[in-house]
Amino acid sequence: MDTNAIYVMWLRDMKRFLRAKSRIIGMLMMPLFFLLGLGLGLGGLIHLSTGGTYFNFIVPGIVGMSLLFTSIFTGSAVLWDRQFGFLKEILVTPNSRASIVIGRIAGGGTTVVMQSFIVIAISMLIGFQINPSPIALLAVVFMILIATTFISLGLTLGSMISDFQGFQLVTSFFTMPLFFLSNSLFPASSLPSYVQDILFLNPLTYGVDGLRIALLGTGTFPIWVDLIAMLISSAIMISIAVYAFNRTDVG
Amino acid sequence: MAIIDVDRLSKSFDKLKAVDGVSFKVNEGEVFGLLGPNGAGKTTTIKMLTTLLPQTSGNAKVAGYDIRKQQNEIRKNIGIIFQDPSLDEDLTGRENLEFHAILYNIGRERRDAKIAEVLKLVELEDKADTLVRFYSGGMKRRLEIGRGLIHEPKVLFLDEPTVGLDPQTRRHIWDYIRRLNETSGTTLILTTHYIEEADYLCGRVAFVDHGKIVALDTPSALKNKLGGDVVSIQINAEDRKKFSQLFKGLKWVKRLSAHEDFIDINVEEGERRIPEVMVLASKHGLKILSVSLHKPSLEDVFIHYTGKTIREEEGNSFVQHMRAMRNRRNR
């Protein structure tokens, strides 16, 4: 592993992120509308069979959603780098492709996790109550694992697709089912069992469940199941991303 | 010693043979040029030599390492200045250089010294902390050249280093490239479709056309192969026959062509033959109105080998075809 390359890719993402203030605000808009519209607006009409308020229930789901969307979107960086030729510059340096991928995950992960902190902070301002327990800190671990899984997916798609429209089309093909066929908006138990099976194949389900246990203290699975599921999905997705990035065309 | 040894290297994209069995050697410290029209296969060759593209067949060694099996070793020893821009425009010039240095594992102290040195060389010291997106085209190019030098590569590849630049900046960059080779001894390989660039910079030039090397030598040797220089004399049209007879039999005249009141004599070392021509004419009482000496350019050589000028090769195929026929007639 070439730590220099990991460090540079991370540092680059930090610098670019802090310079693109409009992007930070833009990426916060969607979770904010979901919090207001679904959490507060629709939430008042919903009574959960599992107990607790719908607003509290949905905040981890919206954190998971914003992680999913922004993480996959991170893959477009590969397309931009290809467009601007910077990809070639990276690929001719004596560093393993795996380190470049890890560095990108580290950089993208840091930015999307920071965004999640802001989403949680805003939710707390409008009434979200975090379970006052040290377990709440585990939420950070789940955020990192959700980010790792879906940034890897984004990097895989970015490595395989070179036109921007195609990338957008294919990512929405992934994000929509991943989001709606998860437990982000509703408890899995409210679905018929044959749909539940699909939810249980979705890594986001375990990620959001882990967030709920950490932040609220209640969830569907034991927390170690969520943790192992997310570790496995992260490992698989990183491997796929490295494989795809190895074969990417420099343009 | 050959620092680059290319052996029957080929690359096909589907049915198109972009590079077709190219072989050449480049010596350490040399400035070597691949000259040819766009689409001739120069960039594809460079991509293979710099490990960015796997070859279809053949092989090559760069700095003693196999391009297929020892890619990481090669990457440590080469630098590339790409044809298209390859900077991160959302970073400053200095950050682009810094990141490059870190990617090549250069420690902080040496990194800072090297960056300062390179910024000075490419005269970007006062723009170092400006975002690259605010740079002009020439400044970006200079930054890229500087970046390619940071890790002191043994071999530096320059793919069309001055394409799209104004003449003044081009001249400037040529001077950098020359000075760089003279002071550091770095081996330089450059591709270009500018005749003057190859002529001005390269110790040896390979003409590339349709994926093949059609000629390879020093620029002056390539030009001499055409039969040396052309001494063109202007005469009174009625003396034309006498002149033709006078020069035709001479051993040092390689070719003679007369048209209207001009006679073109192909000779080697034309400047030495001019006095002889003058003396010979006055001995026979013939009058010469004017004399001019024309050195064949690399462009003439390219036409000789391919039947086309480089610019025409890049034009549309019909025009290209017509011109190629015309050129063939004219030769």
Spatial contact of A8 and B111, defined as CB atoms under 8 Å apart = no
The pLDDT of residue B317 is above 50: no
The pLDDT of residue B62 is above 90: yes
Spatial contact of A171 and A72, defined as CB atoms under 8 Å apart = yes
Rounded Cα distance, B242 and B284, in Å? 9
For B:40-79, CB contacts with A below 8 A are: 47, 50-53, 72-73, 75-76, 78
Chain B residues in contact with A94 (beta carbon < 8 A):
72-73, 75-76, 104-105
Mean pLDDT, rounded, for A164-174: 94
The pLDDT of residue B58 is above 90: yes
Is the Cβ of B84 closer than 8 Å to some Cβ of chain A?
A: yes
pLDDT at A178: 96
Average pLDDT, chain B: 86
More confident residue, A87 or B250: A87
* Inter-chain contacts counted by CB atoms under 8 A, chains A and B: 65
B103 with A92: Cβ contact below 8 A: no
The pLDDT of residue B323 is above 90: no
pLDDT at B292: 87
B90 with A20: Cβ contact below 8 A: yes
pLDDT at B258: 77
Q: What is the pLDDT of residues B241-271, one digit of tens each?
A: 888 888 887 888 877 777 778 888 888 888 8
Task: Name the residue ranges covered by the structural domains of chain A.
Answer: 3-246
Rounded Cα distance, B201 and B187, in Å? 12
Q: What is the pLDDT of residues A193-228, one digit of tens each?
A: 888 889 999 999 999 999 999 999 888 999 999 999
Is the Cβ of B85 closer than 8 Å to some Cβ of chain A?
A: yes
pLDDT at B318: 45
Rounded Cα distance, A152 and A238, in Å? 5
A8 with B102: Cβ contact below 8 A: yes
Q: Which of B161, B150, B217 is nearest to B46 (CA)?
A: B161
pLDDT at B302: 80
Distances (CA, A) of B195 to A210, B132, B191, B216: 66, 30, 11, 14
The residues near A44 (Cβ < 8 Å, ≥ 6 apart) are A54
Percent of chain B with pLDDT strictly greater than 90: 40
The pLDDT of residue B286 is above 50: yes
Q: Name the minimum distance, in Å, from the CA of B92 to any CA of chain A.
A: 10
Spatial contact of B226 and B296, defined as CB atoms under 8 Å apart = yes
Label residue B208 by pLDDT band (50, 70, 90). very high
Q: List phi, psi (to 5°) of B196.
A: -65, -35
pLDDT at A161: 93
Rounded Cα distance, A64 and A54, in Å? 16
Rounded Cα distance, A104 and B195, in Å? 42
Spatial contact of A248 and A78, defined as CB atoms under 8 Å apart = yes
Chain A residues in contact with B99 (beta carbon < 8 A):
8, 11-12
The pLDDT of residue B147 is above 50: yes
pLDDT at B315: 52
pLDDT at B175: 87
Of B22-36, B55-69, B212-226, the poorest mean pLDDT is in B212-226
Closest by Cβ to B75, choosing from A11, A84, A92: A92
Q: Which of A92, A245, A247, A249 to mutate to test the interface with B (most CBs of B within 10 A)?
A: A92
pTM higher than 0.95: no
The residues near B297 (Cβ < 8 Å, ≥ 6 apart) are B195, B199, B223
Q: What is the pLDDT of residues B101-114, one digit of tens each?
A: 999 999 999 999 99
HEC string for A210-247: HHHHHHHCCCCCCHHHHHHHHHHHHHHHHHHHHHHHHC
Percent of chain B with pLDDT strictly greater than 70: 92
Chain B residues in contact with A250 (beta carbon < 8 A):
47, 52-53
B103 with A86: Cβ contact below 8 A: no
Closest by Cβ to B104, choosing from A15, A84, A93: A93
Q: What's the complex ipTM?
A: 0.85
Label residue B312 by pLDDT band (50, 70, 90). low
More confident residue, B329 or B210: B210
The pLDDT of residue B126 is above 70: yes
The pLDDT of residue B329 is above 50: no
pLDDT at B314: 60
Label residue B10 by pLDDT band (50, 70, 90). very high
List domains and CATH numbers for chain B.
2-223 (3.40.50.300), 227-294 (3.30.70.980)
More confident residue, A224 or B168: A224
pLDDT at B320: 45
3-state secondary structure of B296: coil
The residues near A187 (Cβ < 8 Å, ≥ 6 apart) are A48, A49, A50, A57, A220
The pLDDT of residue A9 is above 90: yes
More confident residue, B296 or A165: A165
- What are the start-end ranges of the E strands in chain B? 2-13, 16-27, 31-35, 57-62, 65-66, 78-81, 155-159, 187-192, 204-209, 212-217, 229-235, 255-259, 262-267, 288-294
Chain A residues in contact with B89 (beta carbon < 8 A):
84
pLDDT at B319: 46
